[in-house]
Amino acid sequence: MQAREHDIAPLLLAWYDRHARTLPWRSPPNGKGGGQPPDPYRVWLSEVMLQQTTVAAVIPYFAAFTARWPDVASLAAAPEAEVMAAWAGLGYYSRARNLVRCAAAVAARGGFPQNEAELRALPGLGDYTAAAVAAIAFGQRAVVVDANVERVVARLFAIAQPLPPARKAIRAAADRITPDARAGDFAQAMMDLGATICTARAPRCLLCPLAELCAARSEGDPARYPVKLPKKVKPERRGTALWFERDGAVWLVARPPEGLLGGMRALPDDGWDARRDGAGVAGGEVLGTVRHTFTHFALTLEVRRMVGKPAPIVEGAGEWWPIARLGEAGLPTLFAKAARLVLA
């Protein structure tokens, strides 16, 4: 094995002490005289936001959330509709619903539990988030494996098995190199290394503190790791969004609480989802189409300006929302695209 496992953590932590990214949810590394671990609320909130989302996209949302809801108790007391609206644009909206549920559970018990097993029992906390909060906020030894860590470990040990089956071997290797002390700093150092040096394309091996220990680099082609199975072609779906307008307001509906974009305000539509096309709508004026790619499918959404009353095509609760304040409605990205098309 190329990697000398006992050398990895000291080298990486020394690098992290010099090069750690400054992020609003972090405390300075312990090796730089960092004081108390960061607030578990801020760690938890940032980790939930960062799932499937870039740091650059998360920073303004994190700032807005913590200004509006500075602690877990204030978030637990917030109306879910307000949290969902504040989340609009970050995507993966089940995260926002779980955020409210988890905040309520934490507030009810008087604070976050400090061990990984109890954290994992909270609503919406999977293995990764529970491990990250345990390690970063509470200094517990926990194995934290996100996409960046996955890539670094796959290269360090030249794990040739393709993803996703390789995740078991990657986690086992990450477990072997995670130190007992400074596990939170080690997790964040691995994340930073993957984000800034050991990048998916054109890794900057000459700057890497672990270059001499990296099996993939010694093979001469670190970018081939992690090995991935060919991507499946995403199915294409079609649907229609309806724009009903009167007296300077547009009719918005609340999507069902469960399922795609659950609980979000939206334009009424013709029932499309990930499994099928919409039923189609006759009448009105076709204004154009917008495209949006979800995790499991791509959607072409036709936008029609309708006349008359919204019923009966609109099921469930709805409201007339002032067009001048549409930016405050918290429309998910798909329907914000549709609204921009109309208003353009």
User: In which domain, by residue range, is 283 found?
Assistant: 236-343
Check residue 312 and give its pLDDT.
Answer: 52
214 within some domain: yes
H or E segment and range at residue 107: helix 94-109
Domain boundary among 224, 259, 283: 224
Q: Mark whether 165 and 242 lie in a shared domain.
A: no
Angle at 160 between CA 156 and CA 162, to 5 degrees: 115
Is residue 275 packed enough to be buried (19+ CB in 10 Å), middle (13-18) or exposed (0-12)? exposed
Check residue 178 and give its pLDDT.
Answer: 96
Q: Are 218 and 277 in contact (CB under 8 A)?
A: no
Reported as a single tens digit per residue, the pLDDT across 161-188 is 999 999 999 999 999 999 999 999 999 9
Q: Mark whether 131 and 70 lie in a shared domain.
A: yes
Q: Is the pLDDT of residue 307 over 90?
A: no
Find the CATH number of the domain harbouring 116: 1.10.340.30
Find the CATH number of the domain harbouring 295: 3.90.79.10
Question: What CA–CA distance (Å, rounded) separates 213 from 194?
Answer: 15
| One-letter identity of residue 158 | A
Q: Mark whether 187 and 260 lie in a shared domain.
A: no
Question: What CA–CA distance (Å, rounded) separates 55 from 46?
Answer: 9
Q: Is the pLDDT of residue 33 over 60?
A: no
333 within some domain: yes
The predicted model gives 281-301 an average pLDDT of 91
pTM score of the predicted model: 0.79
Residues with Cβ within 8 Å of 231's Cβ and at least 6 positions away in sequence, in order, are none
231 within some domain: no
Q: Mark whether 209 and 291 lie in a shared domain.
A: no
Provide the percentage of residues in the chain whose pLDDT is more than 90.
69
Q: Mark whether 274 and 199 lie in a shared domain.
A: no
* Active site residue ranges: 47
Q: Mark whether 259 and 338 lie in a shared domain.
A: yes
What are the C-alpha distances in Å from 270 to residues 242, 287, 316, 341? 8, 16, 13, 18
128 within some domain: yes
229 within some domain: no
The predicted model gives 62-91 an average pLDDT of 91
The encoded tokens of residue 134 equal 């345990």
Q: Is the pLDDT of residue 2 over 50?
A: no
Q: Are 143 and 171 in contact (CB under 8 A)?
A: yes
Q: Mark whether 189 and 51 lie in a shared domain.
A: yes
288 within some domain: yes
Q: Work out the pLDDT band at 1, boundaries 50, 70, 90.
A: very low
Q: Lowest-confidence range among 87-101, 128-142, 253-267, 312-326?
A: 312-326
Q: Mark whether 130 and 184 lie in a shared domain.
A: yes
Q: Mark whether 206 and 271 lie in a shared domain.
A: no
| One-letter identity of residue 78 | A
Q: Lowest-confidence range among 60-69, 170-179, 230-239?
A: 230-239
Q: Mark whether 132 and 32 lie in a shared domain.
A: yes
Check residue 96 and give its pLDDT.
Answer: 85
192 within some domain: yes
Provide the percentage of residues in the chain whose pLDDT is more than 70.
94
189 within some domain: yes
Q: Mark whether 184 and 291 lie in a shared domain.
A: no
Q: Mark whether 263 and 183 lie in a shared domain.
A: no
Question: What CA–CA distance (Å, rounded) separates 278 from 98?
Answer: 28
Structurally, the chain folds into a number of domains equal to 2
Reported as a single tens digit per residue, the pLDDT across 91-112 is 777 888 889 999 999 999 999 9
